[in-house]
């Protein structure tokens, strides 16, 4: 599938209100961000994905924290265009090969896990939890031996705007996954002004 991001950032959030997530995605689009990841950590997550797909047909919508085949299939049925796991799952990798229009993104932390994913045919992977595992310096060291593979990386986990450029400077890194932008407290408090401020802060860190 085509994974065309307008900015190298993927907002990641825990959502339980489908009308609220449509409002939030609308704000992202106003700033040119055409992607959002909904983690499957609430009973309403799939409903939120469906609401996004109906409201924004061209939006890149991800389902995160996917750990089972049932969750994978339910996410695809809800309208997700990419599926993200925090780990390597052989069963999900095998399942993903059946869906040419859905991008599967398993997570890795070590060279062994990265090798496993790449040798299993994965073309996009998530470095997780990025900042808690050693940050951009560790990622640089991990990927250096894998020059014979063609793949993309999305570092995720604890990344703040000030660290984005360190990751984007590395080969293979196409975007950073960021929960900072859509912090649960902001969502719960309907603090959309703070949300916009974090969007501006993040985009400024990329462009300046």
* Residues identified as active-site: 37, 126
Helix pair 69-78, 45-55: axis angle to 10 deg = 30
Beta bridge partners of 83: 63, 104
Length of the chain: 208
Among 5, 14, 44, 34, residue whose Cα is nearest residue 180: 14
Rounded to whole angstroms, the Cα distance separating 78 from 72 reads 10
Angle at 7 between CA 30 and CA 23, to 5 degrees: 30
Three-state SS at 131: helix
Beta bridge partners of 178: 11
């Amino acid at each position: 599938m085509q994974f065309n991001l307008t900015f190298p950032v993927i907002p990641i959030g825990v959502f339980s209100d489908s009308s609220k997530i449509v409002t939030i995605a609308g704000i992202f689009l106003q700033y040119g961000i055409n992607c959002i990841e909904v983690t499957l950590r609430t009973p309403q997550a799939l409903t939120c994905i469906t609401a996004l797909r109906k409201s924004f047909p061209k939006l890149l919508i991800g389902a995160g924290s996917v750990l089972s085949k049932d969750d994978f299939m339910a996410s695809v049925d809800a309208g997700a265009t990419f599926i993200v796991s925090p780990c390597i799952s052989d069963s999900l990798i095998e399942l993903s090969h059946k869906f040419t229009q859905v991008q599967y993104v398993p997570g890795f932390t070590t060279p062994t896990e990265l090798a496993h994913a790449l040798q299993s045919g994965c073309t996009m992977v998530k470095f997780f939890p990025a900042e808690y595992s050693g940050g951009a310096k560790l990622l640089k060291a991990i990927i250096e031996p894998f020059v014979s593979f063609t793949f993309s990386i999305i570092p995720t986990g604890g990344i703040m705007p000030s660290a984005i450029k360190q990751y984007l400077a590395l080969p293979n890194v196409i975007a950073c996954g960021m929960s900072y932008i859509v912090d649960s407290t902001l969502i719960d408090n309907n603090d959309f002004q703070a949300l916009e401020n974090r969007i501006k802060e993040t985009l400024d860190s990329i462009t300046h």
